[in-house]
Chain A
Amino acid sequence: KAGVTQTPRYLIKTRGQQVTLSCSPISGHRSVSWYQQTPGQGLQFLFEYFSETQRNKGNFPGRFSGRQFSNSRSEMNVSTLELGDSALYLCASSPGGWEETQYFGPGTRLLVL
């Protein structure tokens, strides 16, 4: 099976712009989670989608949003970018049960100038 894929791999934006990141889960996986990874804050949970519904949400401002499509692919959107949004954004997929292993994608490196 193909692994989790994320596009684009690298992105440069300027403050105030908005950005959309995409994640394609492993075939058959229905849960997609998003994480932000920064040197200062480590790995922080953004949100999780299951069957097109947001099932869980972390403590991020409303500028961060996401959605999931019927084929389980997920997108994450960040509006009004700030310098502090520069990070590696990881998505992870799992079959859906909370106890099941999550498999991570390679990440999208976002740089906000």
Chain B
Amino acid sequence: AQTVTQSQPEMSVQEAETVTLSCTYDTSENNYYLFWYKQPPSRQMILVIRQEAYKQQNATENRFSVNFQKAAKSFSLKISDSQLGDTAMYFCAFITNTGNQFYFGTGTSLTVIP
């Protein structure tokens, strides 16, 4: 079964601080991509960062970076220098080459406190 687990339903962080959102997943496939999406209160789902499973190097996108541990099937998101605009629901997801559909976690609601 393909599953994604986000064990932190809610988190908060002070503005300018760093926060890490955790995600674990399960798949028997070897070829897959991992994603973090952000859904602000306006509801538009926005891509934050993506990681190719075959790449050992962790993806980085400005203040956002991931810690990808393939053997442990872990894919955490680190947000540095948190900003008020980072307040949103964050979804971890993956897609495999055997089915063109996302498997989503249940999301982590992040609040950045001024």
Residues of A at under 8 Å CB distance from B?
31, 33, 35, 42-43, 45, 48, 50, 55-56, 58, 88, 90, 92, 98-99, 101-107
* Stretch in B61-69, B72-80, B92-100 touching the partner: B92-100
Q: A42-B106, A98-B95 are in contact. Are A48 and B43 (CB under 8 A)?
A: no
A56 touching B47, Cβ below 8 Å? no
Q: In whole Å, how far is B53's beta carbon from the nearest beta carbon of chain A?
A: 10
Number of chain B residues close to chain A: CB under 8 A: 25
- Known contacts A88-B43, A90-B45; decide if A48 and B100 are in contact (CB<8 Å): yes
Known contacts A42-B107, A43-B91: does B43 contact A102 (CB below 8 Å)? Answer: no
Consensus secondary structure, chain A interface:
strand
| B17-75, CB < 8 A from A | 33, 35, 37, 42-47, 50, 52
Main secondary structure of the interface of B (DSSP, over half): strand
Contacts A42-B107, A101-B47, A103-B47 known; list 19 others, CB within 8 Å: A33-B102, A42-B104, A42-B106, A43-B102, A45-B101, A45-B102, A48-B101, A50-B100, A90-B45, A92-B45, A98-B95, A98-B97, A99-B33, A99-B52, A101-B50, A104-B46, A106-B44, A107-B43, A107-B44
